[in-house]
């Protein structure tokens, strides 16, 4: 049988068709617009997600045995607010994970309700990108829209609803709403009361590998597939990527270099760090994970290439970053183009270059962008290490993982082995694997990961380069505290 994994990203939806052995049969991508109505705001039209996903599935299935399709599941951008009215119509454009408008609401939750209480109820504190502050913002600024709310959904769950007619979410995605009791895997009645929402607005909770329903007959007919195709809950993009990279089991780690950047650490037990610098979420395998998330990662390089030096030749721009330059660059880059989440929790933070001189080159600036992202990822690693978590190696995925240079920089900045996978499809692969588990192809998520995920290379840290980057990191981590007070004035 075959399975579809849908990776609902920020700039595009990627769809992957996989057979029962884990062989990728076809991959299709469809882009859609991203809107920035005001500085720091980020929105999308959920209808675009659905129409592009449907068009993508038609192309994906073209030429295959459509009746062999058994299940569809998802990995999706997290935290986004999709509000539906009583007629199941979208009330307003979705407010996305990287939207920074909720500073006031986030401060209210953290300071008036209190971080200790939030952590007790949800295992997390409020971040500007989380769903609950967005709903509070809507209540305060768009009361006429707030009054229409009948359902609150997350992005991938809107797709699942359009395909199955069922209101559902999974534990990993729900973990990032601030309405969810992560430890007990249920909605928090206390948080619903604090935020002034009805629990009936929230969808039913599933484990990521559970079936939420079957495909609607009219959708099945439009795609030419069986009416028995299962729609499976899926996971937030990082948990889905972790499944797709085999990051399951205690201590397993994955670094994702997508639009955002994450450090994902799988755990068999529930845990929270003292300062809530890392997110404590449920994992797609029925267990837990810690996650550090930076809002701009590969998107920093895309911004630098596309908007500043205006080239699409990403690989060519890295050719001039020669061996002698590694660990020796005097230019620093803060990768906070959309504010920052872990570990600073500062939506006002901004990107900047420092250390430039008359002999600074184009290659130095490009290198600084790659290194700045690596240094920011290390910030989250340091929090994990402070908890006694020992990380000796990591998987890597996302668009940035296609760069051999960037992988080498990350291995040496983090001083860990970086395992390169046979495929780096991440969330779409994880979604397809979750569908396969739900359909009985594999007994558990771990079984699917062990059978499908293959490491083909390992980038080893180099002691001399590790030492150079250690010195550079110690300088890097002094920059944000020095500039923090200036960012709100920009």
Residues 6+ apart with CB under 8 A from 482: none
Per-residue model confidence as pLDDT tens digits over 17-73: 999 999 999 999 999 999 999 988 999 999 999 999 999 999 999 999 999 999 999
User: Mean pLDDT for the chain?
Assistant: 95
Q: What is the mean pLDDT of residues 96-118?
A: 94
Query: Using 50, 70 and 90 to split pLDDT, how confident is the model at 275?
Result: confident
Identify the helix (H) or strand (E) that includes residue 412. Answer: helix 404-414
In this prediction, residue 424 has a pLDDT band, given cuts at 50, 70 and 90, of confident
Q: How far is CA 27 from the centre of its chain?
A: 20
- Tell whether 283 is in a known binding site: no
168-189 pLDDT, tens per residue? 999 999 999 999 999 999 999 9
Sheet strands (E) in 342-485: 352-354, 393-397, 417-421, 455-459
pLDDT tens for each residue of 224-248? 999 999 999 999 999 999 999 999 9
Element (H, E) at 457: strand 455-459
Q: Compute the half-sphere exposure of residue 176: CA atoms within 13 Å on the CB side of its CA.
A: 33
User: Strands (DSSP E) along 233-323, which ranges?
Assistant: 235-236, 253-257, 261-267, 279-282, 288-294
Q: CA-to-CA distance for 308 and 337, rounded, in angstroms?
A: 13
Confidence at residue 300, expressed as pLDDT on a 0 to 100 scale: 96
Write out the catalytic residue numbers.
237
Rounded Cα distance between 208 and 242, Å, is 12
What is the DSSP secondary structure assignment for residue 185, as one 8-state letter?
A: T
Domains of the chain: 2-239 (3.30.420.40), 246-423+460-489 (3.30.420.40)
Examine the pLDDT at 386 and tell me if it is beyond 90.
Answer: no
Please state the rounded mean pLDDT for residues 291-308.
Answer: 94
Eight-state DSSP code of residue 401: G
Cα atoms found within 13 Å of the Cα of residue 304, Cβ hemisphere only: 28
* Cis amide leading into 343 (omega within 30): yes
Q: What percent of the chain has pLDDT over 90?
A: 88
DSSP letter at 305 equals I
Q: What is the pLDDT of residue 325?
A: 96
Q: Is 429 annotated as a binding residue?
A: no
Q: What is the per-residue pLDDT for 319?
A: 95
Distance of alpha carbon 440 from alpha carbon 368, whole angstroms = 47
Residue 255 has pLDDT above 90, yes or no: yes
Using one digit for the tens of pLDDT, what is the confidence trace for 209-227? 999 999 999 999 999 999 9
Model pTM?
0.89
Closest CA to 34 of 255, 299, 241, 376: 299
């Amino acid at each position: 049988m075959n399975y579809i994994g849908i990776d609902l990203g920020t700039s595009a939806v990627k769809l992957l068709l996989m057979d029962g052995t884990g062989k990728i049969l076809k991959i299709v991508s469809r882009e859609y617009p991203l809107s920035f109505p005001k500085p720091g705001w980020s929105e999308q039209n959920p209808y675009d997600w659905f129409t592009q996903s449907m068009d993508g599935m038609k192309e994906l299935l073209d030429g295959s045995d459509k009746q062999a399709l058994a299940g569809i599941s998802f990995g999706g951008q997290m935290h986004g607010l999709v509000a539906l009215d009583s007629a199941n119509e979208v009330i307003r454009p979705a407010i996305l994970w990287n939207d920074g408008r909720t500073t006031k609401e986030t401060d209210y939750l953290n300071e008036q309700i209190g971080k200790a209480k939030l952590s007790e109820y949800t295992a997390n504190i409020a971040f500007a990108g989380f769903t609950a502050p967005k709903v509070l913002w809507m209540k305060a600024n768009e009361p006429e829209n707030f009054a229409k709310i009948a359902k609150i959904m997350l992005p991938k769950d809107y797709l699942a609803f359009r395909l199955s007619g069922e209101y559902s979410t999974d534990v990993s995605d729900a973990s990032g709403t601030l309405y969810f009791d992560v430890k007990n895997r249920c909605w928090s009645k206390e948080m619903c009361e604090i935020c002034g929402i009805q629990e009936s607005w929230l969808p039913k909770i599933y484990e990521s590998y559970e079936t939420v329903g079957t495909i609607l007959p009219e959708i099945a007919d439009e795609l030419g597939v069986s009416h028995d195709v299962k729609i499976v809950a899926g996971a937030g993009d990082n948990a889905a990527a972790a499944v797709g990279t085999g990051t399951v089991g205690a201590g397993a780690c994955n670094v994702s270099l997508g639009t955002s950047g994450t450090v994902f650490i799988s755990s068999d037990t529930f845990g929270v760090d003292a300062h809530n610098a890392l997110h404590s979420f449920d994992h797609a395998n029925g267990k837990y994970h810690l996650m550090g998330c930076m809002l701009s990662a590969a998107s920093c390089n895309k911004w630098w290439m596309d908007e500043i030096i205006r080239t699409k030749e990403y690989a060519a721009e890295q050719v001039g970053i020669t061996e002698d330059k590694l660990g020796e660059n005097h230019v620093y880059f803060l990768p906070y183009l959309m504010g920052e989440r872990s570990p600073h929790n500062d939506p006002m933070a901004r990107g900047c270059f420092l250390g430039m001189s008359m002999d600074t080159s184009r290659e130095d600036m490009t290198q600084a962008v790659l290194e700045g992202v690596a240094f920011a990822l290390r910030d989250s690693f340091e929090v994990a290490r402070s908890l006694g978590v020992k990380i000796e190696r990591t998987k890597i995925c996302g668009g940035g993982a296609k760069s051999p240079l960037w992988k080498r920089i990350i291995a040496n900045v983090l001083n860990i082995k970086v395992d390169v996978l046979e495929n780096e499809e991440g969330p779409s692969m994880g979604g397809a694997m979750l569908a396969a588990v739900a359909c009985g192809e594999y007994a558990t998520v771990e079984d699917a990961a062990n059978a499908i995920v293959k490491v083909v290379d390992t980038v080893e840290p180099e002691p001399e380069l590790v030492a150079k980057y250690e010195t550079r990191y110690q300088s890097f981590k002094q920059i944000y505290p020095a500039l923090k007070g200036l960012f709100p004035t920009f």
